A = this chain, B = another copy of it.
């Protein structure tokens, strides 16, 4: 059994591919996730067909040991996606995807976890966290996710939902409203959308000149492009983002004393602008015993492959 299948389910598309033991993705492919309305069965059926085709095209029929799936709000213990607002067919409802996908694939074992945990497993198996037994993966995308590895194992907790560090409160008074219903969550400051919110606030709060003043509906990508052109306001936005993140990381370090924090996802591309503020703020707020001792790393995996690799690693 030399192959596994990795599946990364996202709001718009789902990526899948056959993965060999060396971490090569064979026949990576993409299907839509958003054309099935609220019909989870239709999506799972299309996904099963795509997996079958992918296995057949790779010429590895009968050689696949299992399927790993990463999905928003995916629960490792139950194999269910529980109320994932970004997936129309799993919004406000529970979808037993592991069991149903397995049934659609003639009983091949299917392991589910949330997307950030899958990324952590991928990083530990194929990326910069290889050989590490204690690290924290922070995924910086539209939201902020996390996968926590302690003594070589992903932390699932009592109910399978551990590792929601994007929803730790980082601003106590007057914090931004989060999609989860709380105020001041890390995600509202340190995600791509958080960066865009900071940009809007900064632009409104000052009259400082900035390339961003010419942009309609500023996105984090716009901020990145402006920063690369030396725009002071844009650079300050990343500085603020990194400072908030570093302070939050200091608290996470006090919890599990990791060897490293690994940053991953779209916003991690702005590495040149957030690395220094993150590290400075982390070491400013962390207990003396950990000052200058915890590594801050960026994922080394190609982003398009990382999600598939991470999910597939669950199956080994």
Contact = CB atoms under 8 A, between A and B. Distances in A.
Interface of A: 82, 133-134, 148, 150-151, 153, 155-165, 167-169, 171-172, 180-182, 247, 250-252, 254-259, 285, 287-290, 293
Given A150-B150, A157-B134, A162 B288 contact: no
A247 B165 contact: no
A150 B155 contact: yes
Given A172-B247, A247-B172, A250-B169, A159 B257 contact: yes
A250 to B, nearest CB: 7
Given A164-B287, A171-B172, A181-B288, A158 B251 contact: no
A288 to B, nearest CB: 6
B164 A256 contact: no
A285 B254 CA distance: 20
A265 to B, nearest CB: 18
A80 B133 CA distance: 22
Contacts of A158: 133-134, 257-259
A251 to B, nearest CB: 4
A158 B257 CA distance: 6
Given A158-B259, A255-B256, 11 more contacts: A134-B158, A150-B157, A159-B289, A162-B257, A163-B255, A164-B289, A165-B254, A165-B255, A167-B287, A169-B247, A169-B250
A169 B257 contact: no
Contacts of A257: 155-164
A85 to B, nearest CB: 11
A190 to B, nearest CB: 14
Nearest to A259: B158
Nearest to A157: B257
A180 B288 contact: yes
B287 A256 contact: no
Given A134-B158, A158-B259, A254 B287 contact: no
B168 A256 contact: no
Contacts of A165: 254-255
Nearest to A284: B182
Nearest to A160: B257
A297 to B, nearest CB: 14
A241 to B, nearest CB: 16
A228 to B, nearest CB: 30
Contacts of A293: 159
B289 A258 contact: no
